[in-house]
Structure 1
Amino acid sequence: MAGTSGPARSVSATAPADGPARPSAVDRHIKDYLLHVSVERGLAANTLQAYERDLRRYGLFLTAAGVDQVEQITRRHISEFSQGLSDGADGGSALGLRSVARTVVSVRGLHKFWALEGISTADPAADVHPPQAGRRLPKAISVHSVTRILEAAGSETPAGLRDAAMLEFLYSTGARISEAVGLDVDDLVLPTESDEGPSLVRLFGKGSKERIVPLGSYALRALEAYLVRGRPALVAKGLGTPALFLNARGGRISRQSVWTILKTVAEKAQIEGEVSPHTLRHSFATHLLEGGADVRVVQELLGHASVTTTQVYTLVTAETLREVYAAAHPRALG
């Protein structure tokens, strides 16, 4: 990490003149923390990469400031680092508000770990808080628009049957696109004649956390048609794979391909605005809440670790209530 740049006095103090700079104590302790979050917390690969990227930047900032021991770090260092993230004053590229907040959270977690492990005697980051991003409402489309997309999807070709099943699946389960493309056929729990109620599917979310979600009848019929008349033709073109959704070469379909398929279908259905797989996930949550579902049930279905994340969808439904009230009540406006 750090030790590759910074003031000359810092380098000369940690490396011989004829060799590369040795990692400082700060750098070594950052690596220890990254190993901890990787092994002990079971974070997803993308999350681990974000932690490493954020803390490498922090390590370079400290090196440039002449800091090579954990006990030298003060609240002022952390505040200056966080303030410089938005305009690149810390030496890196300028970040947006949400990326700044994520980086500050990474630094706070690092210092908390150091304090708990006795690497430092205090936690100088405890009172440094990430900037608060404005609360952005998730983008959702109406039930009517979703229906138009799903009715425009698919055909009797193997790829068409796959497309219809895939889009029905995304809206029926609220799955993330990464969860959907990562599915194997064995993750489906299809009903037998003695079963009652909706079918189930096993999803693997962030951090490989498993959850079971119901599968609606429309999605079930589309999946059964794809499994019987579509997937066999596609899998025959490849080397054999357990993946549920396949590309034209018989391999696991990619997230980018699903984006392209949905964009094409949305244009065919004449849906205005940008529509992505995440739009279907947002619409799934919003429509459930509008239909009276409990927010904690929706939390479980979405795989959110905290109900706070799910509660942002209640702002969408509240906005809908205001619009309906304003349009329908005789004395709402005037």
Structure 2
Amino acid sequence: MADDAQQEADALPEALARVLGDYEQHLAVERDLTPHSVRAYVTDVAGLLEHARRLGLDDVGRLDLRTLRSWLAQQQSLGRSRTTIARRATAARVFTAWLARTGRAEQDVGSSLASPRAHRTLPAVLRRDEADELIRAATDLADDGSPVGLRDVAMLELLYATGIRVGELAGLDVDDVDRERNVVRVLGKGRKERSVPFGRPAARALDFWTRHGRPQLVVEGSGPALFLGARGGRIDQRAVRTLVHKRIAEVPGAPDIGPHGLRHTAATHLLEGGADLRSVQELLGHASLATTQLYTHVTTDRLRAAYRQAHPRA
């Protein structure tokens, strides 16, 4: 459990703390969520239960809609963003549904809980020439044949080619890459598996890395990890983020984006190239098409800007 959630849990009466522990077990074992997702849910629910305790509730069966709304109102008074409040409302609804389903509450009081619509800001993305320059600069630096340089090029190529998440990249094993079909098997959110294709440039970079770079970093404890850190262990997500920010900072005029920005970039360039929305949804592993539709706004904005610059009647 995360430190902040643990502090909240430690202040709870034994009955509430026991329910929170059972819920954490449910998320990790039955729903098979990632540790990050489990921490996020448990932290939010711990805050809700602590708020309920301060209102005199010591039994989850007594949670009501008024208490849930009071908790969200408190979040707003503390200056939490609309996105954060919307996420916590979702966490509350998931929790109360579990309470009702498991007989810990007579009804699902959270089913009527509304939440503010989160602002959906347009993601910053690279232009195609900026993406090319990012890869070109990293490739130039890898000309010395250093294993870290070859690894960095392969990671950048794969992130841009597939739009996979940084956690998905770090979790790849060698056997997850199918070079005959040029697809990579990815374990996404909710442990859902999908296959994502990649092109020839990424294939070449992966070949150089696996043949000439990875063998130089492999140690006894490397295991099957595809991408390794300088000490031979599985690459850390923070190291990937640092790399992306560093390399993009070297591209003149490029926005400061990380691995998720490359994911946005890949989706935008796919749609601009004519890919249909459903296909992009499958490639990115989005549960909802509405999430993928965000990128159509990016491409429309670019089209509008090009129109204003080029059309004599604009």
Flag whether TM exceeds 0.5 (same fold): yes
Aligned in 2, Cα 1:246/1:119: closer, same or farther, shift over 3 Å?
closer
2:185 to 202, 214, 219: 202
Rounded Cα–Cα distance in structure 1 between residues aligned with 2:97 and 2:148: 51
Q: CA deviation at 1:190?
A: 1.0
Q: Is the Cα–Cα contact under 8 Å of residues 130 and 254 in structure 2 kept in the other structure?
A: no
Q: Which has the larger radius of gyration?
A: 1
Rounded Cα–Cα distance in structure 2 between residues aligned with 1:240 and 1:185: 11
| Residue matched to 2:309 | 327
| Residue matched to 2:204 | 221
AA at the equivalent of 1:23: E
Q: CA deviation at 1:30?
A: 4.2
AA at the equivalent of 1:272: A
Q: Residue by residue, what CA displacement relative to the aligned partner does 1:23-48 show, whole Å, maximum 9, x if unpaired?
A: 23x55444444433333322111111
Q: Is the Cα–Cα contact under 8 Å of residues 238 and 251 in structure 1 kept in the other structure?
A: no
AA at the equivalent of 1:135: R
Q: CA deviation at 1:304?
A: 1.0
Cα RMSD over matched residues? 2.2
Matched, 1:168 2:157: yes
* Worse-matched range after superposition: 258-267 or 304-313: 258-267
Aligned in 2, Cα 1:239/1:36: closer, same or farther, shift over 3 Å?
closer
Aligned in 2, Cα 1:57/1:79: closer, same or farther, shift over 3 Å?
same
Matched, 1:272 2:257: no
> What are the within-5 Å matches in structure 2 for residues 1-334 of structure 1?
5=11, 23-24=14-15, 26-88=16-78, 95-154=80-139, 155=142, 156-191=145-180, 199-235=182-218, 239-332=221-314
Q: CA deviation at 1:106?
A: 1.2
Q: Residue by residue, what CA displacement relative to the aligned partner does 1:234-268 show, whole Å, maximum 9, x if unpaired?
A: 22x55443211112222222122222222332233
- Segments of 5+ residues of structure 1 without an aligned counterpart are 6-20, 89-93, 192-197
Rounded Cα–Cα distance in structure 2 between residues aligned with 1:28 and 1:267: 48
Q: CA deviation at 1:223?
A: 1.0
TM-score (norm 1): 0.84
Rounded Cα–Cα distance in structure 1 between residues aligned with 2:61 and 2:242: 51
AA at the equivalent of 2:300: A
Please state whether the residue corresponding to 1:85 is helix, strand or coil: helix
Q: CA deviation at 1:184?
A: 1.1
- The structure with the largest helix share of the pair is 2
Runs of 4+ aligned residues of structure 1 deviating over 6 Å after TM superposition are none
Aligned in 2, Cα 1:32/1:252: closer, same or farther, shift over 3 Å?
closer
Rounded Cα–Cα distance in structure 2 between residues aligned with 1:4 and 1:288: 48
* Worse-matched range after superposition: 279-288 or 119-128: 119-128
| Residue matched to 2:3 | none
Rounded Cα–Cα distance in structure 2 between residues aligned with 1:69 and 1:279: 43
AA at the equivalent of 2:266: F
* Worse-matched range after superposition: 111-120 or 58-67: 111-120
Q: Is the Cα–Cα contact under 8 Å of residues 156 and 244 in structure 2 kept in the other structure?
A: yes
AA at the equivalent of 1:252: R
Q: Is the Cα–Cα contact under 8 Å of residues 124 and 257 in structure 2 kept in the other structure?
A: no
AA at the equivalent of 1:145: E
Q: Is the Cα–Cα contact under 8 Å of residues 290 and 317 in structure 1 kept in the other structure?
A: yes
* Worse-matched range after superposition: 96-105 or 238-247: 238-247
Rounded Cα–Cα distance in structure 2 between residues aligned with 1:264 and 1:29: 44
AA at the equivalent of 1:320: R
Aligned in 2, Cα 1:162/1:30: closer, same or farther, shift over 3 Å?
closer
Q: Residue by residue, what CA displacement relative to the aligned partner does 1:121-158 show, whole Å, maximum 9, x if unpaired?
A: 33333322111121211221111100000000031222
Q: Number of matched residues?
A: 304
AA at the equivalent of 1:52: V
State the identity as a percent. 40
Q: CA deviation at 1:22?
A: 5.1
